Amino acid sequence: MQTGVFPRPALDLLLCAPRGFCAGVDRAIQIVELALEKYGAPVYVRHEIVHNKFVVESLRNKGAVFVEELDEVPDDGAPVVFSAHGVPKSVPAEAQRREMFFLDATCPLVSKVHKEAILHNKRDREILLIGHAGHPEVIGTMGQLPEGTVSLIETVEDARTYEPRTGKQLAWISQTTLSVDDTAEIVAELSARFPDIAQPHKDDICYATTNRQEAVKHIAGQCDAVIVVGAPNSSNSQRLREVAAREGCHKAFLLQRAGEIDWSQFDGIKTLGVTAGASAPEVLVEEVIDAFRERFEVCLKTVRTAEENIAFNLPRELRDAPVTSG
């Protein structure tokens, strides 16, 4: 008796574009790779260069050594790279004091927020930073100025109850990887309470965060489930999952790799959305798609909502080094 082979169920897979690496992440990874190529291993990296375990392990295998603080770095002249999230001013100051050779991989859009904070302080304004406590980008931004200079606003409730500490004009800045909609609500509350509050000339939330959230909004209502490929400690990846859920997709999952897929959650689905946070490499997206192709008859459609062609300059010390693909 011949056993029948059951056909695989059909699945429409909507693949968001843009997704994955942004220009700041691509630049940060290139900085570590080119430093390894030019100076040899080890190259020390303070904090995860970007929030993605796969990327970190890949660089570690090439000779990068990840540390949390500079006191873990020996005084042997090896290069030190500061992560894309930015660092407090005390970190490069300590590196200079110890005569270290360091390369700053801070995303230029994060550096823009640092400059705004310093400018507001020079103009004698009381500064509010919209962001998440404990995130390295927030620590780096608050660390551009003396302790206590910047106040953190995490929620609309914080904005509603904040009491100015001085008689100075207020100014707000923000973390670059926040939810666009959540931040707009916080800004609306601050603007209603403090009509003369100074704000950025251009939004602090970066183009890549905005574009990826818009792409998820575009597909979420059509999907039975959405997968965001990204790390749990990646702010922009977490926001993508939240956006999908808010836009009506009740099965929105953040996964680092295909091995984390709980297949029971995908029984009977007809349409799946897939995107990736700004620090997730495309190979992990392909891994997830391949896993679904093994179980479903996949009809893949790329849904593009924006074009991205931004690139940032490398540090001068590395510009004569041969460029490797990130």
pLDDT band at 191 (very low <50, low <70, confident <90, very high): very high
Average pLDDT across the chain, whole number:
94
As a dihedral over the C-alpha atoms of residue 183, residue 189, residue 192, residue 198, rounded to 10 degrees, the angle is -40
CA distances to 107, 110, 255, 280 from 139, rounded to whole Å, are 15, 12, 26, 22
> Can you list the domains of the chain with their CATH numbers?
10-21+207-304 (3.40.1010.20), 23-107+310-318 (3.40.50.11270), 109-193 (3.40.1010.20)
**pTM, entire model:** 0.92
Question: Is 137 known to be catalytic?
Answer: yes
The number of C-alpha atoms within 13 Å of 316 and in the hemisphere containing its C-beta is 0
Active-site annotation holder among 48, 116, 126, 137 = 137
Instruction: Report the run of H or E that residue 290 belongs to, with start and end.
Output: helix 282-293
Instruction: State the pLDDT at residue 326.
Output: 41
pLDDT digits (tens, 9 = 90+) for 128-169: 999 999 999 999 999 999 999 999 999 999 999 999 999 999
pLDDT digits (tens, 9 = 90+) for 65-94: 999 999 999 999 999 999 999 999 999 999
Task: Give the Cα separation of 147 and 128 in Å (integer).
Answer: 13
